[in-house]
Amino acid sequence: MMMRMDKSRLKQVRRKNLMILLREASAQGYSDSDMAKKWEVADAQVSQWKTSRRGIGEQSARKIERNSSLQAYSLDREDFEIERYKIGSGATDSVTIGPDIVVYYPILGRVPGGEPRLCIENARLSKDTEYIAVSKKYGENSFYLRVVGDSMSPLLSEGMLVLVDPDWSPKHNDVVVVRNHADEGSVKRLKNDGGQWFLVPENARYPVQPLADSTIVGVVVLSVQQFH
């Protein structure tokens, strides 16, 4: 697993990548002021970023990416190249119809063990991580998982992607992702019966299980069916 990048190094990487964008813009005849307008920031802010007097914060980095049609978190990558991380050049497809894209969330290969936030940060630093765009903002630590098995059929079919928000407070009848004592993950509906909590599958062929045997990782807030 890739180690987390410390704040000092992240500041250097974002500035280096910003300079790549500014040099490319200059080659096309655009000034720093033009780019400030494009990125929806003040001219002075761009000047401060260039001279390292001010670090590029999380929100500013994401805004620059969105307004430059770059994949989410590409400014945080040490292997940054404009064409490589343009939306549509990799795993993320360009969306031209429908609501404006608000944010991208990473696809994780498995239910995260331990603190989800750390798993998300590591995923964002990996050049192999895929993202899916969402037109509504959920928790910043949200992530996608792929459904395996048919215990939640017909609600969730095998192969579907579910967006999981670990910061969402679970309540009765929510669909949740849980991890048991054997570190195995699953998706179930959370039910309260007489003050006791249970994990209930949609498919009647599977048994109901007490929540006490598992830990809730997050609440499913969105599902996506991929055809390719």
- pLDDT tens for the chain, 228 residues long, are 334 456 778 888 899 999 999 998 888 888 999 899 889 889 999 999 988 777 888 888 988 988 888 888 889 888 888 887 776 444 433 333 334 445 778 888 766 545 555 555 666 656 677 878 777 778 888 889 888 888 999 888 888 889 999 989 999 999 999 988 877 888 999 999 999 999 999 999 999 999 998 899 899 998 876 543
Instruction: Show which of 46, 62, 94 is a domain's final residue.
Output: 94
How many Å from the N-terminal Cα to the C-terminal Cα in the chain? 27
Residue 85's identity, in one-letter code, is Y
Instruction: Show which of 94, 117, 150 is a domain's final residue.
Output: 94
Instruction: Show which of 31, 59, 94 is a domain's final residue.
Output: 94
Whether 81 and 115 share a structural domain? no
Whether 110 and 217 share a structural domain? yes
Whether 115 and 223 share a structural domain? yes
CA pair distance 111, 53, nearest whole angstrom? 40
By the 8 A CB rule, do 160 and 144 touch? no
Q: Tell me the residue range of the domain where 45 lies.
A: 1-94
Whether 122 and 34 share a structural domain? no
Residue 175, beta-bridge partner list = 189
